[in-house]
Structure formats: C-alpha cells, structure tokens
Amino acid sequence: MKTLRFGIIGCGLMGREFAAAVARWCCLTDIDTKPEIVAICSRRGHAFPWFTNNFSSIRQVTTDYAEFLANDAVDAVYVAVPHHLHQPIYCDVIGAGKHLMGEKPFGIDKAANDTILESIGRHPECFVRCSSEFLFFPAVQRIGAMIEEKAFGTVLEVNCGFLHSSDLDPQKPLNWKRNIEFNGEYGCLGDLGMHVYHVPFRAGWRPLNVRAILSNVVAERPDGIGGRAPCTTWDNATLLCEMRDPVTGSVFPLTMKTERIAPGEKNTWYLEILGTRASARFSTKNANMLERLEYEGREQTWQRIDMGHETAFKTITGAIFEFGFSDAILQMWAAYLHEFAHGNRLSPFAGCATPEETRLQHALSTAALESHRKRELITVL
C-alpha cells in the first residue's frame, strides 16, 4: 500500500469529513494507495483538538499558512476554506509543488477560476481535482454507465438540482456562506452548482445558452452579534439551458435548480434523464432507489431498483446495505487517490471533478448571473 501524505487547510465542516474518510480507509478493499494526514492548518486553533485527538499521524499543527506550505512532509493538500480564499490558497499550494484537492466553486468567481487554471497550467506536475461527491451514489454510477453505453438513445430532456431548506428560517443568523464578500456573487450557484453540473458535464453535454431566474428571498438576517445585516447572495436559482450532446449532435433542454430555501428539502440532490430508448431518475431523498424505464416499442414500465452498496470502489460493506453521504465522500476520496496513483479513472464516472469541469461551471454560472440581470437568454459556449 502506497501512502500519500496530506495536509488540510481549513479544519471546518469539510476538513473533518475528509479526516473521517481517512479514518475509514480500511473499508476500501481494492485500493493500493492510502492518505495519511500529517499536517493541519486553520485560521483559529479551536478546531485542532478533534484532529489531534483522533489522528496520531499529525505532526504539524499551525495557524501559520506559510509555515504549513514550507513543510516538505506534505505531498498533497485538501483545501476547504471560504470561497474568497480559493484563488490565493489554491495557487499557493500548487506554486509550492503540492497536489491539490480543492473545494467548489473552485474560485469565488470566473476571474479567480481563470487564475487558478492558469496556475495549474504552469504546474502540470501537480495533480488537481475539485470535490464533488454525489456522482458516487450507486444509482448515479449506474446512470453514468447507462450514459457510457448510450442506453438513453436521443436525450430528450434532463432535470437536475440540489435543494436545501437550511435558510428557510429568516431568523437564522448570517454566516460567511451568506455574505457576498466571502461567498461571492454566485450565491447558491457557487455553493451547490458544481454538484449539479457534474454529471451533465461528465456526460460530455455542453451548455449552449442559459436563461436564469435568481431569487434573493431573505434580504436581511440577524448578524449573530445582536444586530441585523444585509444578506445579498442569491438564495434560489432556476436555470434553463439548451444542451448539446456531442455524441448524437442532439440539442435538448436541461433544467437545473439550486435552492437554499426549498421547503421540505434538507439535502436533496436529484437527476432525471429522459431519452428515446431509456429514462432514469434518482433523488437522495430515496437514496437506495434507482428508477429506470427501458422502451423497446412495447410497454413503458418504470422499474424500481434497490441499489444497496453497489459502489465504484469495492468496500467491506455488505452489498445489500444502504449507501449515504459519508460513503459518497469516501468513494470520492478513493477516486482521487486512484487517479493520482494510476493516472486514469477507474471508469469515466468514477472520477472527481476536473479543473476543466470547474471552468465550465464558471462559464455557466457567470452567464446565469448575466441572464438574470438582463432578463435575457445568454450564450454560454
């Protein structure tokens, strides 16, 4: 078993999710490379004890980011920090010659993303990917295989989205994720967009144009220190795109929703593909179930398939057992380590988001902002 020595910058929610995946690495049965956390860096020290109490491999604990980057014992870095820090930190990590797993949206805006991609271009020795885990749910892997096999025939329509209700309560205090300075103008598109775009982009479908409607539902929130503050990021977005499938040359509508104020939805990622020969549907609301319809000229029958633990990267978990968020995170990290070690993906859909896919994400999200501002259809690619 080879080891890739990791440092983490940003020891918040996602920094801990990565560490928990590392702790569960023994669940993976067929992988020949493992991550080891050797260094952690965060703005404040209060997050450190959870890491140091649980990971004896950690040798460096610092709030000094320059000191962290100078550590030769760190081969690769997971950076999970607010969006305004993506560009400076990702570029510094790559500039220090370290491999990078960045978080979405991979730059607070298109200019930041362009700068990160230029930095990657100057350092081809660095392996760089962007986090996006919903692709690894077994049903989504199965849909990916259907796309690879061209099972859908001509794609007629795609509906996809990511719905939260975390901001339904107008009294929920503002945090960095609702502040345009730290989270960016994209708002919900930056937070949730990459998760939704990932499958269509990986399928090779490209957005020709977009008409977007964005909503800022709660324009002011408690600031958490006794006052109130403006909340200027977009809460909800609906995008209607004309997509082109380069395989068949067909052009079809794709509707995408990213919403932080979606009543009744906690963390619902969904995907529906309707085609002339087959159709498929999945939602994390019913995470074990894939719905599939195959049309061969006779009855049109939706099948419901319980997916169990049919994962891209094999695990000790029994095949009948259900799959969840932390399993998807583990699979995503397995995909990163596999692609790093072998130079290729296990399969086209068993791979983390690429820098090029983040570029497409920014092209589409930037066009969506313009579309809403002008109330017009905007050309994307």
Please report, as ranges, the residues that interact with ligand NAD according to CB under 6 A: 9-14, 41-44, 47, 65, 80-83, 85, 103-104, 131, 133, 191
Please give the Cα distance from 206 to 212 (Å, whole number): 16
Q: Which is nearer to ligand NAD, 10 or 161 (CB)?
A: 10
CB of 10 to ligand NAD, least distance (A): 3
| Buried b or exposed e, range 182-212, using 16+ CB within 10 angstroms | bbbbbbbbbbbbbbbbbbbbbbebbbebbbb
Residue least distant from ligand NAD (Cβ): 12
CB of 355 to ligand NAD, least distance (A): 15
Q: Which is nearer to ligand NAD, 80 or 254 (CB)?
A: 80
Q: Which is nearer to ligand NAD, 80 or 139 (CB)?
A: 80
Q: Which is nearer to ligand NAD, 62 or 216 (CB)?
A: 62
Beta strands in 63-154 (DSSP E): 76-79, 99-102, 128-130
Structure tokens at 74: 């760190």
Q: Which is nearer to ligand NAD, 214 or 353 (CB)?
A: 353
* 82, 253, 367 from 200: Cα distances, Å: 26, 12, 17
Output the CA torsion 53→55→59→62 (10° steps): -60
CB of 84 to ligand NAD, least distance (A): 9
Q: Which is nearer to ligand NAD, 102 or 138 (CB)?
A: 102
Please give the Cα distance from 177 to 172 (Å, whole number): 12
CB of 270 to ligand NAD, least distance (A): 15
CB of 259 to ligand NAD, least distance (A): 15
Rg (CA), the chain: 21
CB of 62 to ligand NAD, least distance (A): 9
CB of 374 to ligand NAD, least distance (A): 27
Please give the Cα distance from 152 to 142 (Å, whole number): 12
> In sequence order, what are the residues at sequence separation of 6 or more whose Cβ sits closer than 8 angstroms to the Cβ of residue 356?
none
Under 8 Å between Cβ of 49 and 61:
no
CB of 47 to ligand NAD, least distance (A): 5
Q: Which is nearer to ligand NAD, 330 or 378 (CB)?
A: 330
> In sequence order, what are the residues at sequence separation of 6 or more whose Cβ sits closer than 8 angstroms to the Cβ of residue 355?
106, 116, 117, 120, 128, 129, 130
> In sequence order, what are the residues at sequence separation of 6 or more whose Cβ sits closer than 8 angstroms to the Cβ of residue 102?
79, 86, 90, 116, 128, 129, 130, 131
As a whole number of Å, the end-to-end CA separation of the chain is 43
Q: Which is nearer to ligand NAD, 189 or 273 (CB)?
A: 189
